[in-house]
């Protein structure tokens, strides 16, 4: 179980990935308006949204092969999101560094979840 920004419990992975993407967007809005942050922010917004979108596609997959492909893409996008969040956190003096670390921690948990789904799908 994870918690969203309002501390309400989150049980389903579809909702959890949605809240992750939402919280990334809220976090990006707090960044200083620099060229690097604008570019990095766009990248992390895309990758964080892609996690849940591909997971939803996996849940509607027409075949096991399609399911596994979508889960692999979600896993890849989680790794990319972690990269951009770390880059943002390590190149800024953040007023909300705890939120950055919480989001990075969520990527680590999501990576484990998608890795587990992939292992069980073999």
Reply yes or no on whether the pLDDT at 2 is more than 50.
no
User: What residues does each domain of the chain span?
Assistant: 2-120
Where residue 122 falls among pLDDT bands split at 50, 70, 90?
Answer: confident
pLDDT at 74: 98
Question: Rounded to whole angstroms, how far apart are CA atoms 100 and 89?
Answer: 6
SS3 of residue 9 by DSSP: strand
Q: What is the pLDDT of residues 12-51, one digit of tens each?
A: 999 999 999 999 999 999 999 999 999 999 999 999 999 9
Written as six digits, the tokens of 30 are 């707090």
Q: What CATH number was assigned to the domain covering residues 2-120?
A: 1.20.1440.60
What is the pTM for the complete model shown? 0.89
Question: Rounded to whole angstroms, how far apart are CA atoms 106 and 112?
Answer: 10
Q: What is the pLDDT of residues 59-111, one digit of tens each?
A: 999 999 999 999 999 999 999 999 999 999 999 999 989 999 999 999 999 99
pLDDT at 11: 66
Reply yes or no on whether the pLDDT at 1 is more than 50.
no
């Amino acid at each position: 179980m994870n918690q969203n920004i309002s501390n309400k419990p989150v049980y389903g992975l579809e909702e959890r990935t949605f809240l992750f993407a939402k919280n990334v967007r809220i976090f990006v809005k707090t960044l200083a308006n620099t060229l690097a942050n604008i570019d990095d922010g766009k990248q992390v917004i895309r990758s964080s949204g892609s996690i849940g979108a591909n997971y939803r596609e996996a849940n509607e997959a027409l075949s096991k092969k399609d399911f596994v492909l979508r889960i692999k893409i979600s896993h890849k996008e989680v790794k990319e999101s972690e990269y951009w969040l770390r880059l943002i956190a390590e190149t800024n003096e953040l007023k909300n560094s705890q939120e950055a670390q919480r989001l990075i921690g969520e990527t680590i948990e999501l990576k484990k979840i998608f890795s587990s789904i992939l292992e069980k799908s073999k």
